[in-house]
Structure 1
Amino acid sequence: MLLVQNIRLSRILRNTWQVDLIMIASCTAAYFVREYLIAHHFEIPSIIPTVLGTAIAFFIGFNNNQAYDRWWEARKVWGSLVNDSRSFTRALINYVDKDDEIVKRMVCRHIAFLYALKASLRGAVDEIYTKYLTTEDLAEIEKHNNVHNALLNIQSRDLQKLSKANSIDGFRFIEINEMLTRFSDSMGMSERIKNTIFPTTYTYLTKVFIWLFVVSFTLVISKEAGIASIFLGWMIGFVFVSTQINGMSLVNPFENNSAGVPLNQITRTIEINLLQMLEENDIPEPIKPINDEYVL
């Protein structure tokens, strides 16, 4: 997640340089085609780039709105996980009697659940969660493909043990169980966002329309602007391309890049909060921003 208000031009160019080269080549080709092939035969109507520019504006606007909706929903889901994790731990610590060992084990298992979910969403091989699990837990989750779901199942089983041992009354059992249900809901929403592919036709057609616009725009203005039409065509295309790439960077909010939801920071913040609530001494450091620009 970006932290700065101003983005360096160099960062934008690093993301667009390949498309920029294609646009410059297309503008150059369009200029020479108009200059040496069609200039003496017919004129390109200016209405063509006008209509294409309007279509591109609609497509980019739709793409960016939908991309931001996905990003914002993902951020809200993980914001809920932060609040529910604190409430879950607070309830276990203060509501459960006589079973401090199970309480600590459930809180540590919840930290493992968050790290396992984060690794799954990012498609990463990150087994940091294993240090918060017992040998029995590790042996059980090896039987499952979905580690975080298996951990929730173990949590429910331990909560039932607390209820049978009369370490927690019925109302508080229901309250804590509802929190486990919310964790499952947040997990499912996160997986839905990750596994739902953004319609490729929208991004594909947007790229095609931008290319057609750049070419037609260069053809139209080359009569008045001459060879400068190559630069002007690229400049107008750069605006559309940058806007489109900016929106598409939010389509997959769980990717490990500067535009994604900062899962590393969020999970570390929860980890620190819960360990401090358990009065542990070995507390990890908060995640620091990279180059004071963004946090992952």
Structure 2
Amino acid sequence: MLLKKNIPLSYVFGKIKLELILLTIYSIAVYFEHTQLGFSNFSIPLAIPGILGTIISLLLAFRSNQAYDRWWEARSLWGAIVNDSRSFARQVLTFIDTSDGNQEKLLIKERMIKRQIIWNYSLSCHLRKQDASQCLDKYISEEERNVVGNAMHIPLALMEQHGNDLRTLLRNKWINEFQQVAMDDTLTRFSNAMGACERIKNTVFPVTYSFYIHLVVLLFVLILPFGLIEHVGIFQIPLVVAISCSFFLIEKMAIHLQDPFENKPTDTPTTTISRKIEQDLKQMLAKDDKVEPAKELEGPEEPTFYIL
């Protein structure tokens, strides 16, 4: 996740370092052939790169908007997961009446809330193609860990365990049918959010669209020096580098934003969000005098860099 407000120039130019070097060499080469090799009459009207630059601007604006929409949808889904996790914990704590001191009900109550903490971390790892089983070391029993850890889709397996406990609660009449429906509806929202995140993760941004835009940007970069050299002379070198780098930076920004679950600095901060959910659910557990506060889980580290 990008955390700092001030981005160092080394980070910015590091993204286009190769392009910056090649552009500088190309601009110098164009100036050299124009002044030293007798090609002084070869130039392009400035209107041509101007028109092409306008077209590229529109294409890059559309591309950036589409990439941001994907990132914002991912962030919105995890915002819904935060709300639903709190709602689910509240339902567990208020629907299951433990005033009679029934130890089995106390265990189920604690187990379901701790499992929800694990589910958020495991979903974060699952989306980033990390080992989701590393999140199972705390908060759940060894027996359940052995069952869930062998699953290919660990978040789904954890959700199934939620369903099993919900069935046990209804069968023993520790919750009524209306409460069961309400809790099951919350679990359904978890599944819907998980499926939507997987859709974003597995739907590749159209490669041909990105490739064609990149080709047009390269064409613009190649003809821009010939349009500027008659007007500004040697100053076309810094101008070409500055103008072209701005297009490359926007293109890179869109590429990074379009995949919000790749464990990159521009990712949706799923680990940080999971830790916030953990804190909230532990607070809710701590208010139940008969349930011991859960120990904090050390989840996978968030990629920490800078923030725009």
TM-score by length of 1: 0.91
Change (3 A) 1:267 1:147: same
- Percent identity at matched positions? 35
Distance 2:145 2:4 in 1: 41
* 1:23 alignment counterpart: 23
* 1:59 alignment counterpart: 59
* 1:105 alignment counterpart: 111
Q: How does 1:211-250 map to 2 (within 5 A)?
A: 211-250=218-257
* 1:282 alignment counterpart: 295
Distance 2:38 2:146 in 1: 73
The one-letter code sitting in structure 1 at the alignment partner of 2:245 is F
Query: Are the counterparts in 2 of residues 111 and 271 from structure 1 also a CA contact under 8 Å?
Result: yes
* Offset of residue 135 of structure 1: 2.1
* 2:130 alignment counterpart: 124
The one-letter code sitting in structure 1 at the alignment partner of 2:143 is E
Change (3 A) 1:61 1:20: same
Let me know the Cα RMSD of the aligned residues. 2.4
Q: How does 1:157-168 map to 2 (within 5 A)?
A: 157-168=164-175
Distance 1:282 1:136 in 2: 19
Q: Residue 87 in 1 paired to residue 87 in 2? A: yes
* 1:140 alignment counterpart: 147
Change (3 A) 1:228 1:159: same
Query: Are the counterparts in 2 of residues 272 and 284 from structure 1 also a CA contact under 8 Å?
Result: no
Distance 1:209 1:254 in 2: 28
Change (3 A) 1:210 1:28: farther
The one-letter code sitting in structure 2 at the alignment partner of 1:104 is E
Q: How many residues align?
A: 293
* Offset of residue 239 of structure 1: 1.4
Distance 1:59 1:137 in 2: 51
Which ranges in structure 2 are unaligned for 5 or more consecutive residues?
A: 99-104, 287-292
Change (3 A) 1:70 1:144: same
**What is the CA deviation profile of residues 149-203 of structure 1, one whole-angstrom value per residue up to 9, with x for unaligned ones?**
1111111011001000000011111000000000000100111111111112222
Distance 2:52 2:97 in 1: 69
**What is the CA deviation profile of residues 192-230 of structure 1, one whole-angstrom value per residue up to 9, with x for unaligned ones?**
111111112222222222222122110111123222212
2:185 equivalent among 178, 190, 194? 178
Q: How does 1:189-268 map to 2 (within 5 A)?
A: 189-268=196-275
Query: Are the counterparts in 2 of residues 23 and 211 from structure 1 also a CA contact under 8 Å?
Result: no
Which ranges in structure 1 are unaligned for 5 or more consecutive residues?
A: none
Query: Are the counterparts in 1 of residues 136 and 149 from structure 2 also a CA contact under 8 Å?
Result: no
Change (3 A) 1:202 1:34: farther
* Offset of residue 38 of structure 1: 3.9
**What is the CA deviation profile of residues 237-278 of structure 1, one whole-angstrom value per residue up to 9, with x for unaligned ones?**
011112222222211112323321111210001011112211
